[in-house]
Amino acid sequence: MYNKNEYRVMPYTADEIELNRQLLEACETRIVNLKDVESLLKKGADPLGTTNPDYIDKHLYSDIVCSLGDFNSKYLPKVTELFLKYGMNIDRPRVPYDDRTDNPLWGFAFFSGHNVARTLKILLDHGLSAESTGVFWNHEIGDLIDVYYDDIHEEFMYNRCMWTIKKLMLLASYDHILENDEQLRRFIGYDYNSYDIKHFRNWDDFEYIFDTTHCNGTPQLDRSIVRIYEKKSKREVWVFGVYLEWMDDCTVRYVRRNKRDSDEPFVCPICGKHTFKKNGDGSKCPVCLWQNDIVQNCEPSYKNGANRMSQNKYRKNYLAGKVE
């Protein structure tokens, strides 16, 4: 294993740094000459290396993701494939990440489009870890929720949010990510959806709708219910509520679902007389017959869940003695 103190020692020779510099130059351009890139890799250029002779401030791939990702370049997946062919392993760079050098996956949080998603998929196919993907999706969600005054239905925001969901579902379609990222599992409502999640690897087969009909004021991502439809059958196949909260610590951005969405016992939101094993297990309250639907539990005015009435209306009726 690496020792953090090794940062003090530059592990790259001057020749290697020069090769890395040339690699960066070859990739930071509109039209990338893949032959040049490959020949540099053959000579030993390291896409997770540095171009700084004094210390490692970031890994090369970060810069490449940013410059090519910025315009959804078709060269991003192409150079990534080459890097992998020559042994790039995001999870094990020659010099590990620390406070100064973010995991280059972080850069994926800023860019959208097919080539960006395709690149992510290539990395996932090569076993990219949940730790690395967690870095970027937490950051991405963090950025989106941060936009407080933008309407999600404004075109730019909508596209950004849609790509976020496409990327999250793509990540979750890999067993090794799903098993090792409980936060992601909870975020996308894995436990209460039954559709085969592997289908989301073909992100274009689906329509992603942000349902904000229940929102008062500006409909934002953090209050929306995400509904995913199969384009072919027009069938709704996946649903989850986006419940996000900031941690108090303003330096650390953190994402979690509504606190009611936990494995703790959950008191019936209608009658308060029955305790479900947890929020959203789908069972019926024996007292008031409310069905334990997680989306409706978290969104009191939401109508189209397992219960035909919203929680608010159901409670009103229950209190008026209209529910048996």
Residues that bind Zn ion (CB under 5 A): 268, 270-271, 274, 285, 287-288, 290
DSSP-assigned beta bridge partners for residue 208: 228
Tell me whether residue 111 or residue 290 sits nearer to Zn ion (CB atom): 290
Give the separation between CA 307 and CA 303, rounded to whole angstroms: 7
Looking at the Cβ atoms of 141 and 271, the one nearer to Zn ion is 271
CB of 280 to Zn ion, least distance (A): 14
Q: Is the CB of 119 or the CB of 311 nearer to Zn ion?
A: 311
* Tokens found for residue 161: 């949010």
**Smallest gap from residue 287 Cβ to Zn ion (A):** 4
What's the rounded Cα separation, in Å, for the pair 116 and 104?
13
CB of 283 to Zn ion, least distance (A): 11
Give dist(CA 92, CA 109) in Å, integer.
20
Q: Phi first, then psi: what are they for 100, rounded to 5°?
A: -90, -30
DSSP string for 124-182:
HHTT--HHHHHHHHHHHHHHHHH-TT--TTSHHHHHHHHHHHHHHHHHHTSHHHHHH-H
Considering the complex, state which of residue 274 and residue 316 has its C-beta at the smaller distance from Zn ion: 274
Report the alpha-carbon angle 298-256-110, nearest 5.
Answer: 120
Provide, rounded to whole angstroms, the least separation between the CB of residue 323 and Zn ion: 9
Report the nearest approach of Zn ion to the CB of residue 271 (Å).
3
Please identify, using beta-carbon distances, which residue of 40 and 288 lies nearer to Zn ion. Answer: 288
The residue among 53 and 282 lying less far from Zn ion, judged by its C-beta, is: 282
Cβ neighbourhood burial of 175 (10 Å; 0-12, 13-18, 19+) = exposed
Q: Between the CA of residue 245 and those of 60, 146, 187, 254, what are the distances in Å?
A: 33, 11, 12, 8
Contact 266, 278 (CB under 8 A): yes
Query: Nearest approach, Cβ of 285 to Zn ion (angstroms)?
Result: 3
Min. distance of Cβ 269 from Zn ion in angstroms? Answer: 8
What CA–CA distances, in Å, run from 169 to 74, 129, 174, 217? 22, 15, 9, 28
Minimum distance of Zn ion from residue 307's CB (angstroms)? 11
Q: Closest CB to Zn ion among 21 and 315?
A: 315
Cα–Cα distance between 172 and 178 in angstroms, integer? 5
Q: What angle do CA 53, 59, 63 make, to 5 degrees?
A: 105
State the nearest-atom distance from the C-beta of 214 to Zn ion, in Å.
Answer: 21
Residue 18: in which H helix or E strand, if any?
Answer: helix 14-27
- CB-nearer residue toward Zn ion: 168 or 270: 270
Residue nearer to Zn ion on the CB measure, 162 or 285: 285
